[in-house]
Amino acid sequence: MNSPIKEVLDLLDLEAIEVNIFRGVSPKDRWQRVFGGQVLGQALVAASRTVEERVCHSLHAYFIRPGDPKVPILYEVDRSRDGRSFTTRRVVAIQHGEQIFHMAVSFQVPEEGLEHQFDMPKVPMPEELEPEEQRRARLADQLPENVREHFTRPSPMDVRPIDEDDNLLNPAKGPPYQNVWIRAKGEMPAALSVHQCVLAYASDMTLLDTCLIPHGVSWFSGRLQSASLDHAMWFHHPFRADEWLLYSQDSPNAAGGRGFNRGSLFTRDGRLVASVVQEGLIRLRDQK
């Protein structure tokens, strides 16, 4: 498989080094710390490799320390419980002898039951929107050269925002909502577990941005100290991460230097397939 998503799939192909212990690496061009979505995806891979014939329906994670992209990450899986319907795993990520992340994951035997869902927002379809690489190339001159290179490098995910402000350094203030279409760039294997792990990776890409919209604060301003603090996902229905998904996000609250964000992921025909909640650090450097 030779496609842009292959880099992510390679990152998610963990090395088994002992029973319940796996090793993952980071891209060589990563900045000062490991991308949170990478750790989410790799931890879910580690848990999934200890489970058979059951589907992940939820995960709850905490980011404890920044990850070091220069050294591998060890993932230790605790087989907490194997019940008749549900299987529970706990994953701890370790670097330099210390925990940097831990996650609880629950798997379920597929079954039928009562169903309802929120309606998908009425938004333009992805084909009506400017392609991500074209948009980034158009806006890159606003940024310093060192940031511009990172901003314009190829991404494994196609992310097409709806109504996002084109002023990268000084965006206008607005209500705490945003919608983006996302999909993996390139066809992926059929296994649902792989699509769940890639979506876990991608779910950390835009969610924290939502709580910054009411404040007109940009990642590129140099004023912001930010980091994911925790992250939870629920998988409701099967889906493909290499097909378009609408990531509808809102931020009900920001307080105490933290921003609280929620996301719903819909297939293009309106089926709600996953939900996400995240709290992140959003601290202005010029405030004490």
Residue 174 has pLDDT above 50, yes or no: yes
Tokens, residue 249: 């996000």
Within-domain flag for 57: yes
Across 187-199, b (16+ Cβ under 10 Å) vs e yields ebeeebbbbbbbb
pLDDT of residue 30: 56
Half-sphere exposure of 135 (CA within 13 A, CB side): 16
Within-domain flag for 127: no
Q: How confident is the model at residue 219 (pLDDT cuts 50, 70, 90)?
A: confident
CB atoms near residue 107 (< 10 Å): 24
Whole-angstrom distance, CA of residue 247 vs CA of residue 234:
14
Within-domain flag for 125: no
pTM above 0.75, yes or no: yes
**Mean predicted confidence (pLDDT) in 233-241:** 98
Within-domain flag for 114: no
Active site residue 204: yes
Among 106, 193, 196, 228, the active-site one is: 228
Within-domain flag for 120: no
Within-domain flag for 211: yes
Among 158, 204, 209, 242, the active-site one is: 204
Residue 1 has pLDDT above 60, yes or no: no
Residue 231 has pLDDT above 70, yes or no: yes
Among 38, 249, 251, 278, the active-site one is: 278
Task: Enumerate residues 6+ apart whose C-beta is below 8 A from 116.
Answer: none
Domains in the chain, number: 1
251 in Cβ contact with 209 (< 8 Å): no
Residue 203 has pLDDT above 80, yes or no: yes
136-156 per-position pLDDT tens digit: 888 888 888 777 877 778 889
| Residues spanned by the domain of 17 | 6-109+132-284
Residue 38 has pLDDT above 80, yes or no: yes
CATH of the domain at 62: 2.40.160.210
**The one-letter amino acid at 210:** T
Whole-angstrom distance, CA of residue 227 vs CA of residue 25:
20
Beta strands at 258-267 and 272-284: parallel, antiparallel or unpaired? antiparallel
Residue 36 has pLDDT above 50, yes or no: yes
Round to the nearest angstrom and report the end-to-end CA distance of the chain. 50
Collapsing DSSP to helix, strand or coil, 196 comes out as helix
Collapsing DSSP to helix, strand or coil, 23 comes out as strand
Active site residue 228: yes
Within-domain flag for 169: yes
Within-domain flag for 160: yes
pLDDT of residue 288: 45
227 in Cβ contact with 61 (< 8 Å): no
pLDDT of residue 31: 60
Whole-angstrom distance, CA of residue 56 vs CA of residue 178:
27
Which is nearest to 276 in space by CA: 241, 232, 212, 236? 232
pLDDT of residue 220: 82
